Structure 1
Amino acid sequence: MARASSSTVQTLVRWSGYYKELLTPEFQQVVDHYLVNDAAKKVGEIESIEILHRNDGSSPIHPSHYHPKDKELIISARTKPTNGPT
């Protein structure tokens, strides 16, 4: 279920897991912003991003399990840098 997508940072990123296109428009923007700004600045060039979700195909948008008092909705993703461990 891997897919390729280009970003504004001129890299080719392999997407897997939940289809990014099925996210709400707001969360699609969040994922794109994370890729270009937060992830790239933190670890450099990104090889792949996996949007984690349940096996039943339901939306990966959920409240945080680590911070139950925080009611902001989030998605969980696994990022793999091009030159380094996950």
Structure 2
Amino acid sequence: MSFLVEENPAKHRFEILVDDALAGFTAYVPRGEVLVFTHTEVDQRFQNMGVGAALVRGTLDQIRERGGRVVPKCPFVAAFIKRHPEYGDLVTTQP
């Protein structure tokens, strides 16, 4: 199984493709360099396979590369960051 996480700026979300099929997304509201994450969804066919974690990890890695910050309003993104403190430096309270 191959994962690809890519941003879809037109839809304000990062999407994950699993073997070229759209498997899920995490939506955001842009606030300059800060992205406020509001909702994450994984297609039922891909749940409990690590797709959600791969999506959030890939998303946060891309945000880190470009020097951005996040506000994790989405409970899934917030829980991921809590479990993976190496991403804690990306969190800001300033939207």
TM-score, normalising length: structure 1: 0.28
Flag the structure with higher strand content.
Answer: 2
TM-score, normalising length: structure 2: 0.26
Higher relative contact order (CA 8 A, sep 6+): 1
Flag the structure with higher helix content.
Answer: 2
Q: Who wins on radius of gyration, i.e. which is larger?
A: 1
